Amino acid sequence: MDTEPIQEAMMQIAMENTALALIDTFLGYRPIHFHLGYLFDICNLFCTLAREIFPRNTEEEIKLFELLSKHISKLRSAHLGAMDFLHTELLQRRCRLFQEKATVLIEAEIERIEKSGNNKQQSKNESDGKE
């Protein structure tokens, strides 16, 4: 049994969830539409990560992105050739990189928000005469 369609479906779900985490962390927005292209377009509003790791400029880049973002039901009946297996390996590397870099961005943003909240509370306490 070919496992590439399964791997691609799992990568798609992982990238959707990673993009959703980025969007929620940076914008506080929780989209109800989950197409990967749409989610990456939203991510591009506040960071270049999606554009850097999954560019969609050349025909080859577009084909690779379409392989990642095609509807999961289409993957069930996919008949993949040797070239698609190479694409799956490339997608795995890019997905791993995207997830790693997104995690760093999310953690840094959460830390920034927490520090900002602590600074605001400390300023409020000082203005109220509390220390």
For residue 67, the 8-state DSSP code is: H
- The pLDDT score that the predictor gives to residue 70 is 81
Share in percent of the chain as helix, strand, coil (round to 5): 75, 0, 25
Confidence of residue 6 (pLDDT cuts 50, 70, 90): confident
Amino acid making up residue 113: I
Query: Is the pTM of the predicted complex or chain greater than 0.75?
Result: yes
- The pLDDT score that the predictor gives to residue 80 is 55
The number of CA neighbours under 13 Å toward the Cβ of 56 is 17
- The pLDDT score that the predictor gives to residue 45 is 97
Percent of the chain with pLDDT over 70: 82
- Res. 131: pLDDT tops 90: no
For residue range 62-117, list pLDDT tens digits in order: 988 998 888 666 555 555 555 566 788 899 999 999 999 999 999 999 999 999 98
Strands of 2-124 (E only): list them. Answer: none
- The pLDDT score that the predictor gives to residue 121 is 73
For residue range 11-52, list pLDDT tens digits in order: 999 999 999 999 999 999 999 999 999 999 999 999 999 999
- Res. 130: pLDDT tops 90: no
Axis crossing angle, helix 59-69 with helix 4-27, rounded to the nearest 10: 90
